[in-house]
Amino acid sequence: MAVLGIGPSMVGRDSAEEKLAYLREVIANARAMPMSASCVINRGEVLAAIDDVIANLPDEIAEARHVIDMAAFKIAEGEAEAGRILAEARDHAANLAQHSEVVRVAEQIAAGMRAEADDEAAALRRETDEFIDARMASFESVLHKTVSQVRTARARLAERSGLDAGDTMRLDRRVHGE
């Protein structure tokens, strides 16, 4: 019967996996029984190793549960953060949409005001042109009367002085710079 020491061979083995690997090694290296698949192992050593695994297994399970709980907490925390970010994004999108609507309405109002101002400016231009045209027509009428009076006065002068039409034409050319 092979006698394996538990003390030094189990020292430094912290995880259940390492302890189970050690047990496998003990069994694999146990002295074989001749003409059989059985082997001789130290019952006390193997049972002590199994007890050690069982004793430490709850700690490892607790650690694994703690890791799982922390992962679940982080996932929940991440989902909450994602929800918060999504809500902020929706609020921001709603604000942008509202702002866009305000801008669109303001642009429509501005376009209406521009069109109204253009119409008013065109109406003022028309009124101004009509006023100027009326003044020029009045001035033209006065000029026609003046020209008519000047012709009449020249004709009388020509009759009185005995000037003929040729003399008055020469005077016209001198006055006009021809």
For the stretch 14-57, pLDDT in tens is: 788 888 888 888 888 888 888 888 888 888 888 888 888 888 87
81-85, 121-125, 126-130, 158-162: the lowest-pLDDT one: 158-162
Contact 23, 13 (CB under 8 A): no
Angstrom distance (rounded) from CA 74 to CA 23: 37
Is residue 23 within a helix (H) or strand (E), and if so which, with residue range? helix 16-28
3-12, 92-101, 117-126, 162-171: the lowest-pLDDT one: 3-12
Higher per-residue confidence, 60 vs 80: 80
Angstrom distance (rounded) from CA 56 to CA 14: 9
Whether 131 shows a pLDDT value over 60: the answer reads yes
* 0.75 exceeded by pTM: no
**Per-residue model confidence (pLDDT) at position 18:** 86
Whether 121 shows a pLDDT value over 90: the answer reads yes
Can you state the percent helix, strand and coil of the chain, rounding each to 5?
A: 85, 0, 15
- The per-residue pLDDT for range 64-102, each reduced to its tens digit, is 888 998 998 999 999 999 999 999 999 988 888 888 888
Residue 37: what are its φ and ψ, rounded to 5°? -90, 0
**Per-residue model confidence (pLDDT) at position 173:** 62
Angstrom distance (rounded) from CA 101 to CA 107: 10
